Structure 1
C-alpha cells in the first residue's frame, strides 16, 4: 500500500471565467423568437434554434479557453497562472505596487502563463525569481494574490532588517 501525499493548501484561486455566460445562447434564441413575433410573421423555429446553438457553442468555447488560460491558483508549493506552473521556492521577492507617473521596470517583464501579456481585466504583480529573473504574476483580485504571495515569501525569506 502506498501513502498518498496530501494536497497542499490552496491560498488563492480564481477560475478564469463563469459558465453563466453560456446562458446568453438561450437569451439570443428567445430574443430572435420575440423579434419574429413582433414582426407579425409568427415564429419560424429554425432561426431561434440556430441562434441558440451558435451563440451557446461559441460562448462555451470561449469560457472553456478562459478557464484554462486565465485561471490562477496559489498553493504553498506552486503558483499556476493558466497552464504555466512556477514553484513558490523560485519567488524571492514581491515588488511594490506601481504608483506615481513613472512605470516600474517590472511592468515590462514577461507575464507568467502562456499568454503574451497580462490578460485583459487582470492586474500585474511584479515578482523577482531566482537567477535574477523578473516576471509579472496577475489576477483580477490582485490585492488578495499580492497579500498571499507576500506572506508566502516572507515566511520563507524574512524581510531585511532596517538599521
Structure 2
C-alpha cells in the first residue's frame, strides 16, 4: 500500500481507529426507543436523544484520540508512531522477533510515541537506535511494519555477515 505524503511515499500506514465506532450512538438511541416501545411507554424522544448525543460524543472523542495517538506511518525517511517522529537514519538495527520463553531485553525498552507502553492490540518491534538506545515500534500489522523497516534499514546498512 503506497500513498503520498508530504515526506514522500507512505510505505506503511495504520489509522489507529475507525470512525464507524461512532455508529454506536445511533444504535444506542434506537435500542432505547425499542425498549420504550416494548415496555408500553410509546415513543418519547428525550431519552433516546440523550443517549444518541452522549454516546456519539464520547465515542467520537475516543476515536479522535486513537487516530492521533495510535496511528502509524512509515515513509522512506521517517517513522511516525502516534505523535512522535524518528528519522529512519536513527535506526541502526531491527531486532528479530522473540522466540522461546525468555523475553528479549528490547521488550522492556520504551515504546515510541507519547503513550506509556505498546498500545493494546499492537505488537512491539525492537529497534536499536543511534547512541546505543533501544526502543519499541509497534503496530497491529506488525509483520508488515517489521518487513518494511528491515528493508529500509538493510538498504542503508547492509546486514552483518557471519563467518
TM-score tier by shorter-chain length is: over 0.9
Q: Give per-residue Cα distances to partners, 1:122-148, cap 9 Å, x unaligned.
A: 000000000000000000000000000
Q: Which residue of structure 1 lines up, in the alignment, with residue 108 of structure 2?
A: 108
Q: Give per-residue Cα distances to partners, 1:105-131, cap 9 Å, x unaligned.
A: 000000000000000000000000000
Runs of 4+ with deviation above 3 angstroms: none
Q: Which residue of structure 2 lines up, in the alignment, with residue 37 of structure 1?
A: 37
How many residue pairs end up in the alignment?
158
Could you tell me which runs of 5 or more consecutive residues in structure 1 were left unpaired when the two chains were aligned: 1-5
Could you tell me which runs of 5 or more consecutive residues in structure 2 were left unpaired when the two chains were aligned: 1-5
TM-score, normalization: structure 1? 0.95
Q: How far off its partner does 1:160 sit?
A: 1.0
Q: Which residue of structure 2 lines up, in the alignment, with residue 119 of structure 1?
A: 119
Q: Distance in 2 between matches of 1:7 and 1:154?
A: 20
Q: Distance in 1 between matches of 2:39 and 2:87?
A: 60
Shift in alpha-carbon separation, 1:38–1:45, aligned structure 2, 3 A: same
Q: Which residue of structure 2 lines up, in the alignment, with residue 61 of structure 1?
A: 61
Q: Distance in 2 between matches of 1:43 and 1:139?
A: 45
- SS of the aligned residue for 2:67 comes to helix
Q: Which residue of structure 1 lines up, in the alignment, with residue 152 of structure 2?
A: 152
Q: Distance in 1 between matches of 2:125 and 2:154?
A: 16
- SS of the aligned residue for 1:56 comes to helix
Q: How far off its partner does 1:162 sit?
A: 2.1
Residues 7 and 75, structure 2, Cα contact 8 Å, conserved in 1: no
Q: Distance in 2 between matches of 1:13 and 1:119?
A: 16
